[in-house]
A and B are shown apart, each in its own frame.
Chain A
Amino acid sequence: MKILVGYKRVVDYNVRIQVKPDGSGVVTEGVKLSANPFDDIALEEALRLREKGIASEVVVATIAPADAQAHLRNGLAMGANRAIHVVTGDAVQPLTAARVFLKLIEKEQPQIVILGKQAIDDDCNQTGQMLAALWDRPQATFASKVEVSGNAAKVTREVDAGLETIEVDLPAVITTDLRLNEPRFIKLPDIMKAKSKPLETLQLADLGVASGDTLKTTNYAPPAKRSKGVMVKDAAELVAALKTKGLL
């Protein structure tokens, strides 16, 4: 069984996001870029399925600018067998990403596609669902537990009301939630081995994918700054202040 994993590069979770002064986007130059945390979880799950003998091959794929090769090498170092780099200079929106992954599915014929439930840069949470629809296969989103047996996967999902367990026929799309697993550390010997693992490069323009980018962002702005607190002398002054603000 082959598993295809989406592996997006985003601004590191711990970096304090700064908006460009002209409002055209967020600052990414000189900022730490890492794998989307949900995609790390997706890759970890795929590797565990391979280690259990259920999968035989794990392929990581990203849609990113040409300088994202090092990012894919990290995915290979973590344990993926192969990587596919779909090169584009532009950020793509979920529908375009889903169409690209459909192309990759046609090419690779995976039994399971595991994606992060969302990427922490735009937080769209759409690509997995769109891909399942385009592919016309089942989807199991927000997975916190995945058990594969035969031609089906039993997936425990994190939903508003608690946990929901569903069974989907394979092939299927699974998207990961935070509690699914804890991704492993990348070993230095594996980083060296990853240098010789196959990394295929495709140009997005050559894939014949119609762009689904229909949204245009006109402006980025940081959230309003919290104003400084004021010190009150005593409880009476506090009550008075709360009353003038209409909070009491």
Chain B
Amino acid sequence: MTGNASSAEASATVGALDELRRAQPNLRLLTAAADLEHYGRDWTRRWTPAPLAIALPATIAEVQAIARWANVQGIAIVPSGGRTGLSGGAVAASGELVVSFERMNRVLDFNPVDRTLTVQPGIALEAVHKAAAEYGLIYPVDFAARGSCSIGGNISTNAGGIRVIRYGNTREWIAGLKLVTANGDLLELNRGLIKNSSGYDLRQLVIGAEGTLGLVVEATLRLTDPPPASQVMLFAVPEMSALMRVFAACRKRLNLSAFEFFTDRALHHVLAHGAQKPFDEISPYYVVTEFDAADEAQQQAALEVFEQCLNDGFVNDGVLSQSDAQAAALWRLREGITESLAPYKPYKNDISVRISAVPDFLDEMSSLLTREYPQFDVVWFGHIGDGNLHINVLKPAELADADFVAQCERVTKLLSEVLARHGGSISAEHGIGLVKKPYLAGTRSPAEIELMRGVRRVFDPHGLMNPGKLFD
């Protein structure tokens, strides 16, 4: 609620909450200050959580009742999963009802013929991986937050992660969705069909909508066969311009499932966090790549790629995993970055351009960041094989939070202009949320944004579904 909210308004919303309690006596509602803070925010720390209450529904019927109640009372809803988001998409800072799917976290069905797994939205990504493994299959979308992020949040941001170059984003793996709309209707979108040419695919519209079109209450996920045995290589790369050359060389000879890079600053922070040092000598850039290595020919090809890159001067050194434990240790160098940076309250950029535009874009962006952030520790990493870069600016301890954010936002404005010139996106996989809202216009045209507004109005005429996120 804003500062000038009258006490009459405040008592009206409290009355509304009582109304919900009376109508749904079994619905779990939390209003303790600690719960409001816990459920009112994601991994961003810029906003002070101030939700009205937290609802923890256990059934779709309860979610529908909540939506109908909110629609009548004019109370906004913020959906909430694992709250590992980095764009403020799950932040509730102005008297909203947070609908947490924490209790709706089960596997509902496995269909061996369709090879689909039907789950509730609050299930953690890692639990989905484990459930798929029980049936000898995999759900291939994967990233570092797997232990705590939820499928509902993955869907709402169209999460990508570390194996996008082989498997694509979350979007490719959603066979069907159940959605509770703002007026409490339950929609069954696509119903697990593989082929369905019958008009607008509303399922795809909901994926990546950041909760603005309704509440995802069930998802049917496509599963696939496990990949062949793989190995992981880590390369030390002497200069930025070599990164995409190494990628081209690897992609030509190897069947890649991941191609990630990070800078020496990133490695510095992960090693300080306790990871094992891979090389004696420092290089400015590193690449982690995972590839099929089921037979000797594939392993031999990897050595030849390395040899070629070494001769061409694209790499200085490299290591190769000899066991799955070593593969995990090498992955940790990349996946541990976000956690190792967390204490520095980093300002995060999550940007993408087409793969072919990466070399020119890297050049331009690197000179921009060197010029604009001379005094800050800037850490680069990301899924360079799919054109997605994460640029984290670390807050110097002595700088006030607000001053730091203000400086970063000024640079992000410039970055957004560079992105627009290269046809890129201000958010590759984190979502727009609150954090990237000011820069949406650099990625989407005015006509496009106007159409998106129109879609949102159709789904949510009173503007109660995660308002303030994506665009105002």
On A, residues with C-beta under 8 Å from B are 12-15, 30, 32, 34-35, 37, 40, 70, 74, 78, 182, 185-189, 191-192
Contact = CB atoms under 8 A, between A and B. Distances in A.
A32 B320 contact: no
B278 A192 contact: no
Contacts of B229: 30, 32
Interface string B288-325: 00000010100000010011001000000111111111
A74 B323 CA distance: 11
Given A186-B319, A188-B319, A189-B318, A34 B330 contact: no
Main secondary structure of the interface of A (DSSP, over half): mixed
A188 B318 contact: yes
Given A32-B229, A182-B276, A188-B306, A13 B324 contact: yes
A188 B317 contact: yes
Given A34-B324, A185-B321, 17 more contacts: A12-B325, A30-B294, A35-B322, A35-B323, A37-B323, A40-B322, A74-B322, A78-B322, A185-B329, A186-B320, A187-B317, A188-B310, A188-B319, A189-B310, A189-B317, A189-B318, A192-B307
Of the listed residues B310, B321, B323, B330, the one surrounded by the most CB atoms of chain A closer than 10 A to its CB is B323
B234 A185 contact: yes
A175 B443 CA distance: 61
Q: Which 5 interchain pairs have the tightest Cβ spacing? A: A14-B324, A34-B323, A188-B318, A185-B319, A188-B306
Contacts of B278: 185
Interface string B191-235: 000000000000000000000000000000000000001000110
A14 B318 contact: no
B323 A191 contact: no
Contacts of A40: 322-323
Contacts of A13: 323-325
Chain B contact-residue range equals: 20 to 34
Nearest to B294: A30
B326 interface: yes
A187 B322 contact: no
A13 B324 CA distance: 7
A9 to B, nearest CB: 11
Interface in B321-340: 321-326, 328-330
A225 B30 CA distance: 39
A188 B303 contact: yes
9 contacts: A12-B325, A30-B294, A32-B323, A37-B325, A185-B278, A186-B319, A186-B320, A189-B310, A189-B318
B238 to A, nearest CB: 15
B303 A34 contact: no
B28 to A, nearest CB: 16
B324 A32 contact: yes
A12 B324 contact: yes
Contacts of A32: 229, 323-324
Contacts of A34: 322-325
A37 B326 CA distance: 11
B213 to A, nearest CB: 34
Given A70-B296, A188-B303, A12 B323 contact: yes
Contacts of B296: 70
A15 B323 CA distance: 10
B276 A191 contact: no
Contacts of A186: 319-320, 322
Nearest to B319: A185
Contacts of A14: 323-325, 328
Nearest to B278: A185
Contacts of B321: 185
Contacts of A192: 303, 307
Nearest to B315: A188
Contacts of B294: 30
A195 to B, nearest CB: 9
A14 B229 CA distance: 12
Given A70-B296, A182-B276, A188 B322 contact: no
Contacts of A30: 229, 294
A34 B229 CA distance: 12
A13 B229 CA distance: 14
Contacts of B323: 12-14, 32, 34-35, 37, 40
Contacts of B325: 12-14, 34, 37
A191 B306 CA distance: 11
A186 B323 CA distance: 11
Contacts of B320: 185-188, 191
Nearest to A16: B133
A102 to B, nearest CB: 28
B307 A185 contact: no
A70 B307 CA distance: 19
Nearest to A13: B325
A48 to B, nearest CB: 14
Given A14-B323, A15-B324, A182-B276, A191 B234 contact: no
A38 to B, nearest CB: 12
A188 B308 CA distance: 12
A16 to B, nearest CB: 9
Nearest to B324: A14
